[in-house]
Amino acid sequence: MRFLAIADTHLGYETGKTSQARKFVYERMFGVFEEIVQIAKREKVDYILHGGDIFNRSKPRKKVVAKAYKIIEQILAEDIGFIIAPGNHERSILPDTLLRFHPKSHFFSDFAVIDLGDCALIGFPYSNNISKLIDDKLTQVLKEFEGKPCLILCHQLFDGAEFGPHKFRFNINHGAIDPLLFPESIKLIVSGHIHRAQSLMNGFVVYPGSTGRTSFIEIIEPKGHLLIDLDEKHLHVEFKEIASIPMNVIEKNLMNEEFNINDLKEKIESGMIRTLIRLTGRALTTDEVESLHNMFPYKQYPLLTINPRFPNQVLKPLYEENLLPFNSPEFSKSFKK
């Protein structure tokens, strides 16, 4: 079977200082989701797996829900299945839809298992009590499907997951789940929640990552989807990049450089490019903050963010020269019979 895995589409997300900018970001997030449909058709996948946070808020606007479900309807019309495990942004519950009755779709509202023929897919929405699900239900499911490859689809934080430019690593002290709680008979866990695409424990857990950048700390991360090929003996997972909203970060340490607003302006493009200016090393004066805002009017730079926003704030550098490289998840495994 072939799966295309995505997560954290955050449909309905918008940002910017003008209605035109917010519309641009809103439509771009949907545009990536629509692009996924075309990729799924081209790659001839059997199912699209969504690891949760399909929406950006727990109560999305009606037009956001209608547009998202229309795209899912298009997916199903192509005879491609669609399965989703709701995330924390949905508060583990998705807006109701008749699409849940379609034979090739499933919206997990609780722990459940789907027999896909060549494999079994176990899924559940975001949960703070994952160990109880494993102890009470998972063992019985694995007995029922003994001898058949089993996958898990969820939206959880796992021990070892990394995010940010310096690869901050979560562990069990941050509330992360130990993947060792899950039996080895599970072939793969596909999870949403962490926006960086990555694999943990030699490919036991994979994160597709978000399909678009919602934060400037994601600027160094490629965005895309995972292609997963699975049969009784083999598993192959490969990350495929797709274009995300353009971003630019300009960071200047004012302990080493002069405050030169004209030099800054030369480096910043106007229009629909999300840009972050970070001035570190010392606090800005009131006059300097005011001159920055006067030099970059919001109508001309609707997607520009300037930090610090106020005088007397001292920022530490976010981006250093020794940024760790990003490794896209790609691996193959063979299973013992």
195, 215 contact by CB (below 8 A): yes
Residue 2: CA atoms inside 13 Å, Cβ hemisphere, count?
A: 12
- Retrieve residue 174's tokens: 């941050």
Kindly report, residue by residue over 272-299, the tens digit of the pLDDT. Answer: 899 999 999 999 999 999 999 899 999 9
293, 260 contact by CB (below 8 A): no
Q: Note the pTM of the prediction, 2 decimals.
A: 0.94
203/5 Cα distance (integer angstroms):
14
Domain ranges of the chain: 2-245+325-334, 247-307
Would you identify the CATH topology of the domain 2-245+325-334? Purple Acid Phosphatase; chain A, domain 2 (3.60.21)
Q: Is the pLDDT of residue 167 over 90?
A: no
168/161 Cα distance (integer angstroms):
8
The mean pLDDT value for 136-153 works out to 87
Q: Is the pLDDT of residue 61 over 70?
A: yes
Q: Is the dihedral of CA 16, 21, 25, 27 positive or negative?
A: positive
Grade residue 320 by pLDDT with cuts at 50, 70 and 90.
Answer: low
Residue ranges of E strands in 147-262: 150-155, 162-163, 168-169, 186-192, 198-200, 205-207, 223-230, 234-242, 247-253
113/95 Cα distance (integer angstroms):
21
121/27 Cα distance (integer angstroms):
32
Question: What is the predicted pLDDT for the residue at 16?
Answer: 95
Kindly report, residue by residue over 231-246, the tens digit of the pLDDT. Answer: 888 999 999 999 988 8
Grade residue 143 by pLDDT with cuts at 50, 70 and 90.
Answer: confident
